[in-house]
Amino acid sequence: MYKKLVSLALAATFSLPTLADEATVKKAVEAKLGGVVTSVTRTPYLGLYEVYANGREVIYTDEKVSVLLVGSLIDGKTMKNVTAERKQKLSAIKFSDLPLALAVKQVRGDGKRVFATFEDPNCGYCKRLAKETAKLENVTIYTFLYPILSPDSLEKSNQIWCSSDRAKAWNEWMIDGKPPAGKGDCDTTAVKESIEMGRKLAISGTPTIFFADGERIAGAIPQAKIEQKLAEVRAPVE
Nearest to 162, CA basis, from 179, 186, 140, 138: 186
Q: Are residues 35 and 118 in the same domain?
A: no
State the angle between helix axes of 124-133 and 223-232 in degrees (0 to 180), rounded to the nearest 10.
Answer: 60
Share of the chain above pLDDT 70, in %: 89
pLDDT(33) > 90: no
Q: Are residues 201 and 107 in the same domain?
A: yes
- Cα separation of 100 and 141, whole Å? 10
Asked if the structure places residue 237 within a domain, the reply is no
CATH number at residue 160: 3.40.30.10
Mean pLDDT over residues 175-201, rounded? Answer: 94
Looking at the 3D structure of the chain, how many domains does it have? 2
Mean pLDDT over residues 103-128, rounded? Answer: 97
Q: Are residues 42 and 158 in the same domain?
A: no
Residue where one domain finishes, among candidates 25, 59, 90:
90
Q: Are residues 214 and 99 in the same domain?
A: yes
In sequence order, what E strands does 35-125 have? 37-42, 49-53, 57-61, 67-70, 104-108, 113-119
| Total Cβ atoms within 10 A of residue 65 | 21
Residue where one domain finishes, among candidates 71, 90, 109:
90
pLDDT band at 210 (very low <50, low <70, confident <90, very high): very high
Asked if the structure places residue 82 within a domain, the reply is yes
Q: Are 66 and 37 in contact (CB under 8 A)?
A: no
Domain that holds residue 212: 95-232
Q: Are residues 51 and 126 in the same domain?
A: no
Asked if the structure places residue 154 within a domain, the reply is yes
Q: Give pLDDT, residue 238.
A: 45
Q: What is residue 164's DSSP assignment? A: S
pLDDT band at 234 (very low <50, low <70, confident <90, very high): low
Q: Are residues 137 and 35 in the same domain?
A: no
pLDDT band at 55 (very low <50, low <70, confident <90, very high): confident
Residue where one domain finishes, among candidates 37, 59, 90:
90
Q: Are residues 123 and 195 in the same domain?
A: yes
